[in-house]
Structures are given as structure tokens and as C-alpha cells.
């Protein structure tokens, strides 16, 4: 299979929207850390339910769209919990999973992604 290399992607017609490319993603849990990822240099545990993702390549600004989905593991089932996050620098994204009474023993796994602006 060949490799496609480009410096930029531009719209074929004037007035079309810009393209936004994914800068990184990770499948993680709060015990093991990163299970699988791309574009993520490392993972920092800032406390119970507070993973920080350190990007392999810097964003051009401190602005990007992110997604963070987490689930608790209890009674042999996964339960979705409140989660979110924000870009804290061109190289870091701080996220949160769950609430103040959630323990690390509860975590099953989460999914994280960042799309550059």
C-alpha cells in the first residue's frame, strides 16, 4: 500500500469550509493509563478522574475541539458518566471524568480525541 503525503488540503471551490484534521486520540483507563493512542506523547494523572493528555505535536493556538467519553465499571456493566475537558496549552488538554465521589477503582475506560482548529 502506498503513502499519501501532503502539506495542505484546500477546498476545490472558493467558499467551501476549511478541513479540520484530528491531532490525537487515546483509549485509556485511570489505572493503566493509555491503552492505545496516536498523536499523544503521554498521559498525566492529575487526580481521581482528572486525566491530562500531552500532545505529540503542538496545536497552532490554545483553541481546539475535543471529545472525552468515560464510563464507570460496576456490577459487570459500564455506566456513562459526565465528562469533558479543555485545551490548557498548545501541548496539553486537561479532561475530567465523573464526580468528586468517583474512585479510581471504579474506572473501566475512556476515549479521548482532539481536532485542531
pLDDT tens digits, residue range 10-68?
667 666 555 566 788 888 877 778 889 989 999 888 877 788 899 998 888 887 888 88
- Contact between 93 and 43 under an 8 Å Cβ cutoff? The reply is no
CA distance 80 to 101: 15
How does strand 51-55 pair with strand 22-29? unpaired
pLDDT of 98-108, one tens digit each? 765 555 545 55
Is the full-model pTM beyond 0.85? no
Three-state DSSP class for 34? Answer: strand
Pair 45, 78: CB distance under 8 Å: no
Amino acid at each position: 500500500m502506498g503513502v499519501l503525503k501532503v502539506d495542505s488540503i484546500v477546498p476545490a471551490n472558493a467558499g467551501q469550509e476549511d478541513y479540520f484534521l484530528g491531532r490525537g486520540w487515546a483509549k485509556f483507563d485511570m489505572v493503566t493509563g493509555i491503552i492505545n493512542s496516536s498523536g499523544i506523547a503521554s498521559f498525566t494523572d492529575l487526580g481521581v478522574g482528572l486525566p491530562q493528555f500531552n500532545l505529540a505535536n503542538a496545536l497552532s493556538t490554545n483553541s481546539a475541539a475535543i471529545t472525552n467519553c468515560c464510563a464507570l465499571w460496576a456490577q459487570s456493566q459500564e455506566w456513562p458518566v459526565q465528562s469533558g475537558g479543555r485545551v490548557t496549552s498548545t501541548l496539553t488538554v486537561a479532561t475530567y471524568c465523573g464526580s468528586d465521589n468517583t474512585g479510581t477503582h471504579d474506572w473501566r475506560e475512556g476515549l479521548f480525541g482532539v481536532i485542531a482548529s
